[in-house]
Structure 1
Amino acid sequence: IAVHCLGDEATLRRWLVYDPRQRVQGWRFASYMLLHSNALHLALNVVIQLVLATPLEVEQGRIGVATIYLGGGVCGALGASLLQPSLFLVGASAGVYALLTSHLAHLYLCHGELRYAGWRLGAVLLLASADVASLPIPALLGCGRVGWAAHVAGALAGPLLGLAVFPNQSKKDARGRRFVRFVRLLSAISVMLLVVGAILGNIYLIALPQLRKPS
């Protein structure tokens, strides 16, 4: 279940939007996902979430999918805070990207038991390619800047989080359970290091230098 709000109410925007000037308010790295700039933005994200998350929930469970969705959103905001440090963020696109690319982890873990695995992989690559190709469109139409850094960070987080949290894997796995456990552990450590690094980057590269500037 995903809860969304259209981002028209001033009070909601003030408290939930990711505002780079208020990056010390940690909840904004997740709460921005509840806001959307317009009805089309909201509808696209909800529809894509349903398409991507439903098969994952059936095959990997709700908790894992929810973790990837929220974790992808947080990672997206962290990525944007470093690579596009002046950009305000609304929307759940980073979480949606994480859901999309987490299918790669799902295909890896359950490769021997999934039906139509090749078609699934093709669909993931096709959706990712189409979305990347559409990134310049809002700027060309004069609709404002696109949070490409959030999209990229969410997409990178998806497979890593999927490998770390998805509970199910192929019982016919000839590669050995030890190797899969190693891959899972490596993915979990990578996510933690990237998140900690992004937090430290926000503190030491952006927040502290701003505080030291003369008023």
Structure 2
Amino acid sequence: MTTSDVSRDPANYCYRHPDRMSFALCQRCQRTICPECQTQAAVGVICPECMREQRNGRSTAQKRAERRWGRGGGVAVRAGAAPVTNWIVGITAGFFLLDLLLGLFGVSVAQWLAFAAPTLYPQYFGVFEPWRLLTYMLVHGSFIHVGLNLLSVWMIGRVLEPMLGRWRFIALYLVAGLGGAVAVAFLAFGSTVVGASGALFGMLGALLVIGRTLGGDVRGILIILGINLVVGFLLRAISWEAHIGGLIAGLLVGWVFSTTRRADQSRRQLILLGVIVVALLALLAVPPLIWLR
């Protein structure tokens, strides 16, 4: 199927707004819906018609509970609404402030959360701290570092999260971060890395693949990627290795999401994501053979 075929396929557009492309399907009727038409349910999102049918089938007790506690059954995900993105930004900013506060007392949060490949190999270094494969994304080196990263995550997340849904977006963010750490272990074994830029590049990679699949114009994403990759190579303080690893992982996750859109492919989607994670973890067995021989 060509890009033009994808762009003409009505299944790639919201059934209520035929001019809006989307990646999300209603979990009940499986029709494509744009962010404006999505209502967050317990699992996934549902369209306005299915939500109306669900509400019409409520019992008297359920209606009374909803009147008491508000709009029960979920919060509508409006265009650009991205609660997981907001939580990621808030938690990461909180860790940065905590690191600053504890630093006044001589305690470094980054010291315990930053990624350094040697901490994964107790047989060589006597230390095994696997949480660093992900926690390095929570700590940053400066106000500029955390500010630019979180602003970018917030801007891109408001586009990606409504398209993918909460759990897919979380999976993308974590797998991309893992990919960044694995690349650092391969290409810069002795370095210490902090920051969410690996996950950020993974988000850009996934957005590139998904946008291309939906027939969108991805030239802007390519330009942003190109500029950031060049800057990463030029500035020694930036870990271009984490950028490359996160980007590759994001491209792979984006490919998985774009090829397993249908509801009957959810199991295949989980299996493919699991294969990516297992492959990344398995690759960590190689760096010591390269760097310590």
Q: Give the alignment's TM-score, normalised by structure 1.
A: 0.75
Q: 1:197 aligns with which of 259, 263, 282?
A: 282
Query: Alpha-carbon deviations, 1:66-98, whole Å to 9, x = none?
Result: 111111111101110111001100000000000
Which residue, out of 202, 220, 223, partners 1:126? 223
1:72 partnered with 2:176: yes
Distance 2:274 2:177 in 1: 18
Q: Match for 1:154: what amino acid?
A: G
**Structure having the higher Rg:** 2
In the alignment, which of 90, 96, 108 is matched to residue 11 of structure 1? 108
CA distance in 1, matches of 2:170, 2:129: 22
Structure 1's 186 and 125: CA in aligned 2 closer, same or farther, altered over 3 A?
farther
Q: In structure 2, what is the Cα distance between the partners aligned to 1:186 and 1:163?
A: 13
Contact 1:60 1:166 in 2 (8 A): no
* Cα deviation digits, residues 171-203 of structure 1 (max 9, x gap): xxxxxx99xx99x69964762463143222246
Which structure shows the bigger proportion of residues in helix conformation? 1
CA contact (8 A) 1:64 1:167 kept: no
1:154-193 maps to which residues of 2 (within 5 A)? 154-165=246-257, 169=261, 188=273, 191-192=276-277
Gaps of 5+ in 1: 171-176, 211-215
Aligned to 1:86, what secondary structure does the other structure show? coil
Alignment size in residue pairs: 188
Tell me what 2:240 maps to. Answer: 148
One-letter code aligned to 2:226: S
User: In the superposition, relative to structure 1, how do residues 20 and 169 fare at CA in structure 2: closer, same or farther (>3 Å)?
Assistant: closer
Report the CA distance between 1:127 and its aligned residue.
0.6
- Which letter maps to 2:144? L
Offset from partner CA, 1:103-147 (integer Å, 9 cap, x none): 1232244x16xxxx11xx0121011011022124433xxxx3x31
- How far, CA to CA, are the matches of 1:34 and 1:127 in structure 2? 23
2:232, 2:239 within 8 Å by CA — same for their partners in 1?
A: no
The answer to which of 159-168 and 63-72 deviates more is 159-168
Say if 1:87 and 1:147, in contact at 8 Å, map to a contact too.
Answer: no
| SS across alignment from 2:221 | helix
Verify the 8 A CA contact 1:163 1:187 in the aligned structure 2.
no
Consecutive unaligned residues of structure 2, counting only runs of 5 or more, are 1-86, 121-127
TM-score of the aligned structures, taking structure 2 as reference length: 0.56
1:58 paired residue number:
162
Once the two structures are overlaid, the 10-residue window that deviates more, 64-73 or 15-24, is: 15-24
Take 2:274 and 2:116, find their aligned partners in 1: how far apart are those partners?
28
Which stretch has the larger CA shift, 154-163 or 184-193?
A: 184-193
State percent identity of aligned pairs. 21
What SS is found at the alignment partner of 1:160? helix
Partner amino acid, structure 2, of 1:40: I
Deviation at 1:21, TM superposition (A): 3.3
Q: Which residue of 2 aligns with 1:42?
A: 146
Amino acid at match of 2:174: L
Cα shift at 1:58: 1.2
Higher deviation after alignment, 100-109 or 155-164: 100-109
Q: Which has the higher contact order (CA 8 A, sep 6+)?
A: 1
